[in-house]
Amino acid sequence: MSFSAVTKNELARVTCEQGCCKLAELSALAKLDGSIQISDRQVSLKIVNENAAVARKVFTLLRDLFDVQTEVQAEKKIKLRKNNVYMVQVSFQPKTMEILTTLGLLNKRGNFGQGIKSEFIRRDCCRRSYLRGAFLGGGSVSSPEAAYHLEIITTNEVHAGDIAVLIRRFGLAAKISRRKNWNVVYLKESEQIVNFLSIIGAHTALLEFENARIYKDMRNQVNRLVNCETANLNKMVDAALRQLESIKFVARHLGLERLPASLRQVAEARLAHPDISLRELGDMMNPQLGKSGINHRMRRIEEIAEKLRKHRGNPVQNKS
């Protein structure tokens, strides 16, 4: 089961005590998943969702708020062998028009409602409920193990703008983009997603998200440290090989005994211990030398080797 499905299952179990919050949540669900059916001058409402728990919540909210006769159907998606879709339908009856206008799907003039009805977002609890309904109806969140991305999609551009504004009222940087025929309201940063999950009441999903995020951050940090150590080790090995080559070249064509005593001591120590670091070489000197002192003497030996190569007509090879 995807992280989105787990989150929606949790949110579907969140119950509102106040009628205003129930209306706000149901309005968001209806606007994102609902469609108005007109046949022979009879109007009905159909709300479709792929999550069974969400469909049950729609059924419960309609029953609690309007005490209306409702039909629930499940259909198997043939395309791409996807899961069932669940349809909650309010057929034509005396309360149908009342439901459509109350939820903001139709305005008082009978035109389709575009944005969020102001009465649904006057109180903080209602704003949270509306965003919960919007996520249940058109939202998804990526698993934090893969990426940080939460979005709510709608075909209604005005509604997308209202949802983005509503999210921003909680201090989150919601943005909008177009994806084919969809308007996508999204959050990208992990902390923003965590805060949004807290706002809509997905506290268990929030904890799972945080645990996965902490594990992912620690793993990335360990990888960075390992990569850094590996890079440093490679540099140290390359430098040691280059130093050994220069020392051996000087030994063959000049003789280490002709080097100054300070350089000869370092050269002989490197030949005897080709795998140790410059700091460890410095500890072996008498008197002891620091890393910079050893590095300076090694550079002098390499310069001598380079001069000998030029003198013998051998080009200096670039060992990058």
Tell whether 12 and 139 lie within a shared domain.
yes
Backbone angles phi, psi at 185, to 5 degrees: -95, 125
Residues 195 and 231 in one domain: no
In this predicted structure, what is the pLDDT of residue 133? 96
Q: Are residues 35 and 179 in the same domain?
A: yes
pLDDT at 220: 79
Domain C-terminal end among 144, 166, 201: 201
Give the predicted TM-score (pTM) of the model: 0.71
CA distance 280 to 290: 9
Count of structural domains within the chain:
2
Could you tell me if residue 25 is inside a domain?
Answer: yes
**Are 177 and 228 contained in the same domain?**
no
Same domain, 42 and 84: yes
Are residue 55 and residue 106 in the same domain, yes or no? yes
Q: Are 122 and 112 within 8 A, CB to CB?
A: no
Shared domain for 62 and 23, answered yes or no, is yes
Task: Give the domain-ending residue among 168, 201, 234.
Answer: 201
Together in a domain, 96 and 184: yes
Q: Which domain holds residue 9?
A: 3-201
* 318 located within any domain: no
Within a domain: 90:
yes
- The verdict on residue 212 lying in a domain is no
Query: Is position 316 within any domain?
Result: no
Does residue 287 have a cis peptide bond before it, meaning omega lies within 30 degrees of 0?
yes
Kindly state whether residue 210 falls inside one of the protein's structural domains: no
Flag whether 208 is in a domain. Answer: no
Query: Which of 192, 138, 140, 188 lies closest to 160 in space, CA to CA?
Result: 138
pLDDT by residue for the chain (320 residues), tens only, comes to 889 999 999 999 999 889 999 999 999 999 999 998 888 778 899 999 999 999 999 999 999 999 888 888 888 766 655 678 999 999 888 888 889 999 999 877 767 777 899 999 999 999 999 999 999 999 999 988 888 899 999 999 999 999 999 999 999 999 999 998 899 999 999 899 999 999 999 999 999 888 888 887 888 788 888 888 888 888 888 888 888 999 999 898 888 888 998 898 988 888 888 888 888 888 988 888 898 998 899 899 989 988 888 887 655 444 43
Does the residue 320 lie in any domain?
no
Q: What CATH number is associated with residue 54? A: 3.10.28.10
Classify residue 81 as exposed, middle or buried by CB count within 10 Å of its CB (0-12, 13-18, 19+): exposed
